[in-house]
Amino acid sequence: MGGPSVVSGPQWLSATLSAGGVPRSAVTMVADCPAAHVDMLAAVTREGGCVAVVGYPSLALAAVEAAGGDLERMVVVPDPEPHALAVVGTLVEGLDMVLFAPSAPIAPACARPVEARLRKSKCALLVTGYTWPRARLTIDVSMTGVVGLGYGLGRIRGVSIAGRVWGNAQPPCAFHAVLGQKSVCRTADDRKTSPAMPGSFMGPFMADATCDLLREVAQ
């Protein structure tokens, strides 16, 4: 599940990050990619970690379980308003990872109390949807296709994703992986390219379609 400074998560992510996982006691921005969210939650709980999902009612818990996750190690708060940040601040004090989907942009002044609690904890806070004012790591990832389908035949056996990571002490690095199969490919360091990808964290959740795909993969 990682060491004292990181939460390792799935193999495709651990292999891409220079530290071997997402940082504890810090904020990581994760793009709106339900397939990746499901795989990360499943990986952490499968290894004995405890996680929370806050403000993300469209996340399919059945998909997490189908991916090998342990639902008994999950706290789910689908509608934390109007005290979402207070809920997150409380949860980070006792869990390994919290996945938070805020319903509105987070002002720096509102983020500071959560960050103060986070720094004293061993939790990795992942934020998706709206950006967090200060994030140590950014994971820009999207679903690129499915594996196993032919012309009018076959069945879905995997979901392919691709993206890039960058942040403090993390050189920009591109990756792609197939969820549902033991396959991962990491590209060379691409620090010469700009890490800015405007709009990659915005837009509606796409959980329904992705989770349907994941259910088929698990069957």
Residue 1 within a domain: no
The C-alpha atoms of residue 107 and residue 5 are separated, in whole angstroms, by 27
Give Cβ neighbours of residue 170 (< 8 Å, ≥ 6 apart): 17, 18, 19, 137
The C-alpha atoms of residue 82 and residue 89 are separated, in whole angstroms, by 14
Of residues 7 and 152, the one with the higher pLDDT is 7
Q: What is the CATH number of the domain that holds 76?
A: 3.40.50.300
Query: What is the pLDDT, as a whole number, of residue 146?
Result: 76
153-156 CB contacts, 8 Å cutoff, 24+ apart: 155/216, 156/213, 156/216, 156/217
Query: What is the pLDDT, as a whole number, of residue 145?
Result: 84
The tally of domains found in the chain comes to: 1
Residue 124, pLDDT above cutoff 80: yes
Query: What is the pLDDT, as a whole number, of residue 154?
Result: 57
Query: What is the pLDDT, as a whole number, of residue 192?
Result: 40
In this prediction the pTM is 0.81
Residue 177, pLDDT above cutoff 80: yes
The pLDDT tens digits of the residues spanning 59-90 come to 999 999 999 999 999 999 999 999 999 999 99
The C-alpha atoms of residue 105 and residue 217 are separated, in whole angstroms, by 34
Residue 108 within a domain: yes
> What's the whole-number mean pLDDT along residues 20-26?
96
Residue range of the domain that includes 186: 6-193+201-218
pLDDT classification of 159: cutoffs 50, 70, 90: confident
Query: What is the pLDDT, as a whole number, of residue 157?
Result: 67
Query: What is the pLDDT, as a whole number, of residue 150?
Result: 59
Residue 1, pLDDT above cutoff 80: no
Query: What is the pLDDT, as a whole number, of residue 4?
Result: 83
**The tokens of 107 are what?**
């002002």
**The tokens of 206 are what?**
């796409």
Residue 11 within a domain: yes
The C-alpha atoms of residue 123 and residue 105 are separated, in whole angstroms, by 22
Residue 72 within a domain: yes
Closest of 203, 212, 181 to residue 60, by C-alpha: 212
The C-alpha atoms of residue 39 and residue 159 are separated, in whole angstroms, by 11
Give Cβ neighbours of residue 75 (< 8 Å, ≥ 6 apart): 50, 51, 52, 53, 91, 95
Query: What is the pLDDT, as a whole number, of residue 68?
Result: 94
